């Protein structure tokens, strides 16, 4: 199992002591555009994106910092050239900032099409969808994730992370 956090909110840094308590690794898929800005489509809306200093803090603490695009635009609504800018541009920014050789990628909204899939293969080490409805475990550029949000508390969290749900996902639900 791998823990991942999307978007790169500044308050992602608050989770580091908790991860340390559990000796848990994690990957942070960050947006490389709009440092200090907030995202209009996500809660909490008032939390800014962390930017380069935050990425370095995560990287120096031993966590993986990977790309989530520049602007969180839905790739399936973009031209191939725009998709390439989002994917390759964000990966290149992280390579230059952190001095890492390879970078993973997560499709914003989990939205992908054949061209974004090909571009992810060309530029990234691996790529993740957002939703659990992705049965292709053998494809490293279409890795499945279980989406956990702030609404998934208590019993709901238990259900989404439990074995029956994972088995359903394996069937391609």
Judged by the rule CB under 5 A, the positions of this chain that interact with Zn ion are 6-7, 108
Toward Zn ion, which CB reaches closer, 12 or 169? 12
Cβ closer to Zn ion: 150 or 171?
150
* CB-facing half-sphere around the CA of 29: CA atoms within 13 A: 26
3-state helix, strand, coil in the chain (%, to 5): 40, 10, 45
CB of 123 to Zn ion, least distance (A): 18
DSSP 21-49: HTT---EEEE--S-TT---TTSSSTTPPB
**Min. distance of Cβ 7 from Zn ion in angstroms?**
5
- Say which residue the tokens 């191939």 belong to: 80
Give the residue at shortest CB distance from Zn ion.
6
For tokens 């690794």, what's the residue? 25
CB of 32 to Zn ion, least distance (A): 12
Question: Given the complex with Zn ion, which of 130 and 169 has the nearer CB atom?
Answer: 130
The phi and psi torsions of 26 (rounded to 5 degrees) equal -160, 155
Smallest gap from residue 106 Cβ to Zn ion (A): 7
Residue 6 or 86 having the CB closest to Zn ion? 6
């Amino acid at each position: 199992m791998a823990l991942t956090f999307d978007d790169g909110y500044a308050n992602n840094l608050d989770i580091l002591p908790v991860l340390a308590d559990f000796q848990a690794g994690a990957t942070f898929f960050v947006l490389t555009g709009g440092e200090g800005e907030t995202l209009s489509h996500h809660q909490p809306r008032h939390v800014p994106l962390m930017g380069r200093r935050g990425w370095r803090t995560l990287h120096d603490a031993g966590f993986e910092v990977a790309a989530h695009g520049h602007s969180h635009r839905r790739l399936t609504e973009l031209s191939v050239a725009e998709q390439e800018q989002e994917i390759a541009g964000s990966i290149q920014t992280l390579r230059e900032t952190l001095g890492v050789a390879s970078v993973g990628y997560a499709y914003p909204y989990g939205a992908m099409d054949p061209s974004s899939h090909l571009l992810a293969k060309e530029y990234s080490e691996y790529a993740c969808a957002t939703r659990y409805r992705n049965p292709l475990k053998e494809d490293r550029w279409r890795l499945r994730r279980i989406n956990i949000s702030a609404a998934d508390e208590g019993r709901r969290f238990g259900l989404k992370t439990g074995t029956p749900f994972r088995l359903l996902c394996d069937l391609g639900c």
